[in-house]
Amino acid sequence: MTEVWDHYNPVKIRAGRGAMQRLPQLLSGSSWLLITTPGFTRRGLTAQVQRLASSVDFEVCDQITPNPELDELEALAAVYRHKRFEGILAIGGGSVIDAAKVLALTIPSAADNALTTVLRQGQKPNWLTKLPLVAIPTTSGTGAEVTPFATVWDAVDHQKYSLVGEQVYPDIALLDPELILTLPEQETLYTGLDAVSHALESLWNINRSPVSQAYAIQALELAEQALPQALSDPDNLDARESMQQASVLAGLAISQTRTAIAHSISYPLTSHFNVPHGLACSFTLSRIIEYYLHNCGDEISKCLMLRIAAMLSILDLPHHIETYVNHKEIHSLKDEMFHRDRVGNFKGIINNDTLDRLLFNNYA
């Protein structure tokens, strides 16, 4: 644990069953940009939002696809830059919320291609102002509604970028578990695993603080019971609500610590082979738990981590990962899995041999 630590998270959270009904009170002014996916518009969620907040005039941008790409986001910013909005409402999973975080900064920016300048060319961001952002997650896992990061993918060179900073935080997170009831089984599993990964990654993290630790432990306590329940009984609103809480708590934890080795391993798998993020950052968790407890010890979290490892073993993640990528393909990406900052956040030492063991133990 670091000796001197800070804690800061400015996101206002409104949560609970029926919280969606409070949406109109959260949107001041009359002109908002609504960001979502084509699927949510098809399934009627966009119309439901428009009905609920009928005094607001929404411009609908429902073109967000999984893993938002830099060039697509630049094109969207260019479309909306000359329009006046009082804020952005994002409703969807992590990709939608991350896209909205980016657009909240790039739409008010005077410069074209501001995102390219910051991410591809590595220049210091100089965001003039930011549109207020209300984030409504429809999955339970990414915690994007409470973090100061937005992931942006670059198909041109298979890069994954992070836009990071205090201005990236949403202003309000609105959490209603009833929105999660229709989440399909595989998305329930993969996004739920992302929440578990975030909680663990913040615990075996050199930036861990008493506050991030408390959030992460509570997230794991909830997810250990609620993830299997939500998978076997998708209409179980208690389980859905617990997973939503686990996700936001894990998000609050990584908003302070950032992620570590499991996420470092995940990024090339997603950028090269489209492995879903929650699976890519969780198929190694059982082996990392084993390695971490053996090499670093952790009396506070040990029993809980072992219980989580038992829960993960039932989910048979090696079988899931094999449907996306084979042993040889994983091997070919090893060099890219050493994301310096993320590996450096992990309390243990990761070298080539340990990475092999974390990746391939089950293939032996």
Shortest distance in whole angstroms from residue 277 CB to Zn ion:
6
Distance CA 356, CA 347 (A): 18
- Closer to Zn ion by Cβ: residue 62 or 194: 194
- Closer to Zn ion by Cβ: residue 198 or 287: 198
Shortest distance in whole angstroms from residue 215 CB to Zn ion:
15
Beta strands 87-92 and 133-137, pairing class? parallel
What x/- string results for residues 148 through 187 when contact with Zn ion is judged by CB under 5 A? ----------------------------------------
Stretch that binds Zn ion, among 97-105, 115-123, 129-137, 188-196 (CB under 5 A): 188-196
**Total Cβ atoms within 10 A of residue 210:** 9
By CB under 5 A, the residues from 54 to 113 that bind Zn ion are none
Shortest distance in whole angstroms from residue 84 CB to Zn ion:
34
Distance CA 162, CA 208 (A): 20
- Closer to Zn ion by Cβ: residue 87 or 251: 251
- Closer to Zn ion by Cβ: residue 98 or 194: 194
- Nearest residue to Zn ion by CB is 194
- Closer to Zn ion by Cβ: residue 103 or 281: 281
CB 162 within 8 A of CB 151: yes
Q: What is the DSSP string of 52-88?
A: HTTTSEEEEE----SS-BHHHHHHHHHHHTTS--SEE
- Closer to Zn ion by Cβ: residue 173 or 281: 281
Shortest distance in whole angstroms from residue 30 CB to Zn ion:
35
By CB under 5 A, the residues from 276 to 315 that bind Zn ion are 281
Q: Residues with Cβ < 8 Å from 190, sequence gap 6 or more?
A: 141, 276, 277, 278, 279, 282
**Of 145, 176, 194, 241, the one binding Zn ion by CB under 5 A:** 194
Shortest distance in whole angstroms from residue 281 CB to Zn ion:
5
- Closer to Zn ion by Cβ: residue 56 or 308: 308
Structure tokens at 175: 């959490």
Distance CA 90, CA 346 (A): 32
By CB under 5 A, the residues from 111 to 130 that bind Zn ion are none
By CB under 5 A, the residues from 226 to 285 that bind Zn ion are 281
Name the H helices within the chain.
23-26, 38-42, 45-52, 70-80, 94-106, 114-119, 185-203, 210-232, 237-257, 261-273, 277-280, 285-295, 302-315, 317-322, 327-332, 340-345, 352-360
Shortest distance in whole angstroms from residue 107 CB to Zn ion:
25
75: alpha, beta or left? (left if phi > 0; alpha if psi -120 to 50): alpha
Shortest distance in whole angstroms from residue 115 CB to Zn ion:
21
Shortest distance in whole angstroms from residue 259 CB to Zn ion:
6
- Closer to Zn ion by Cβ: residue 27 or 281: 281
Distance CA 3, CA 5 (A): 6
Size of the site for Zn ion (CB under 5 A): 2
Q: Residues with Cβ < 8 Å from 348, sequence gap 6 or more?
A: 204, 261, 291, 292, 295, 296, 354
| Binding-site ranges for Zn ion (CB under 5 A) | 194, 281
